[in-house]
Structure 1
């Protein structure tokens, strides 16, 4: 059994926004409210970043066209006592997917915790 940090990537669509900053604020608020309704306050919500294919520079993953925004969000959580990396991925997607129905979740990163700290996460007994 291992302990893992799983980072999921989620695209969030927001309507009636005019700027990238508005889209980011609405998307983060929307995701945070959905997670809090399911008592998932241990999931960290962060703005995603994209990389320019030409110059390689990183920029915020927020795009607004016609008052509709698409915002990339990273969701980070710890999964304890998972049998494998794949098991940790399934657990994280199931837990977050409960709150964010109809939002496709993609694994951005999974890493094993070396010094397990029993704080804020999902544990399987």
Structure 2
């Protein structure tokens, strides 16, 4: 049995936002509340980054159109005593997915520690 650090990407839709900073704050706050309700306060929440197509510099992963935003969030957690990286990923997705029912999750990275 091995311990793993699992990173997942989540897409959060924030409505009635003023700007990108407002959308980021709402997304992180709402995801944090949902995780805390599910007793998952050990899950780390970060803003995702993407590369600018013009300059290739990293920029915040947020898009605002018509006061509605989609925000890319990175969720990471440690999974202990998993049989394989795939098993650790299933555990993380199941745990986080219960708290964030309508939010899509995608694997970014699974590393043993």
Q: Does 1:38 align with 2:45?
A: no
The residue number in structure 2 matching 1:71 is 71
TM-score, normalising length from structure 2? 0.97
Q: Distance in 1 between matches of 2:109 and 2:82?
A: 16
TM (normalized to structure 1)?
0.88
What is the deviation of 1:100?
Answer: 0.2
Tell me how far apart the structure 2 counterparts of residues 93 and 53 of structure 1 sit (CA, whole Å).
30
CA distance in 2, matches of 1:53, 1:111: 29
Indicate the residue corresponding to 1:118 in structure 2.
none
- Within the alignment, does 1:106 sit opposite 2:106 as a pair? yes
2: CA distance, partners of 1:57 / 1:42: 30
Please give the alpha-carbon distance, in whole angstroms, between the structure 2 residues aligned to 1:54 and 1:75: 27
Superposition deviation, residue 55 in structure 1: 2.8
Q: Which residue of 1 aligns with 2:93?
A: 93
Stretches of structure 2 that go unaligned for 5 or more consecutive residues are none
Q: How many residues matched? A: 113
Measured after TM superposition, the shift of residue 52 of structure 1 is 2.2
Runs (4 or more) in structure 1 with deviation over 4 Å come to none
Q: Which residue of 2 aligns with 1:16?
A: 16
Alignment of 1:41-56 (within 5 A): 41-56=41-56
Shift of 1:51: 1.2
